[in-house]
Amino acid sequence: MNYKIIIICTLIVSLWSSAFIGSHIVMESMDSSEFAFYRLSISSIFLYIVSKKNKQTAIAGKDMMLIALSGLLGSTFYCLFFNKAQVLVTSTESCLIINTMPLFAALMSWLIYGEKITQTASLGLSISMTGIVIISLSGNNSNWSMGIGYVYLIVASLSLALSTVIQKKLLRKYSAIQVLSLGLCFAAISLLPFNIDIDSSLMKLNHETHLWVFYLALFPSGLAYLLWGHLLQKVSTQRATSIFYFIPVVTGVIGYFHMDEHLSTLKLSGGVLAICGVMISQSQQWAIWKRASFLKNYHLAKLKSLS
């Protein structure tokens, strides 16, 4: 058992789970654009400094445009819509819907690159979408703002999924930290024209809100992504993404004790369906990876016995 990997996974899940709670708290004092600009500016500076310590690869002009686009989608649009949703729905509901992103990413890969969607993945997508519908319809029917919050979350998840698909080919040429840091820089710059006088707003914030923003920028948006990149170097993508299943659970526990959030039985059932759909869609990839790993080890052992 690799305890280092377990510690890394635990830290990633804890940090990303806390981000849903922290964002919910900060949005009580800031608007969506100001929060996004404040957080992304700190994150981009932090990751840019870290990336400069590593070997840099010259980026082609076309690829730089793709990095900018991935930053706008995965950071600017994602943060804006995600932040807007925080004042309308609970942090646990946000987490349940956002964590269906891998399914939307698979759908985007099919639409853009023509990657095949298996029957298992289609089944998982259908189950997850059913779960999202149940969550959306299980609230107070007269509360239209809650419904708008769910729409914001779906748009945020779609933006993050499309950004992930765009980054897929970029990561074959460049390091994850290089793509991520530059993408965050473009995202922060894109929000600058709308936050010219943000200094006056920042002066009005209390110390707790400032601390939360710095925490979210440096840890869930900074350290967690560095750990994520390290994890992807140690284990397969399929094994790494399996930790996403634990994030809604941890977020729900934190939300229950820290913010007194409660999910109805119907919403909880919808959340279980949404996460189960993601697990089902990735189960076939997991089986393929295990078979490939077994065959690789088998042939290596056979060659070793013959030598």
Is the pLDDT at 294 greater than 60? The verdict is: no
Element (H, E) at 188: helix 176-191
Structure tokens at 153: 């979350």
Residue 216 pLDDT: 95
pLDDT digits (tens, 9 = 90+) for 135-192: 666 655 445 666 788 889 999 989 988 888 888 788 788 888 888 889 999 999 999 9
Residue 23 pLDDT: 92
Spatial distance between the Cα atoms of 188 and 71, rounded to a whole number of angstroms: 9
Spatial distance between the Cα atoms of 271 and 32, rounded to a whole number of angstroms: 25
Distance of CA 269 to the CA centre of its chain: 22
Is the alpha carbon torsion for 11, 68, 40, 26 positive or negative?
negative
The tally of domains found in the chain comes to: 1
Answer whether 104's CB lies under 8 Å from 158's CB.
Answer: yes
Q: Which domain holds residue 224?
A: 3-306
Residue 83's nearest CA partner among 92, 73, 94 is: 94
Structure tokens at 127: 């189950």
Residue 305 pLDDT: 45
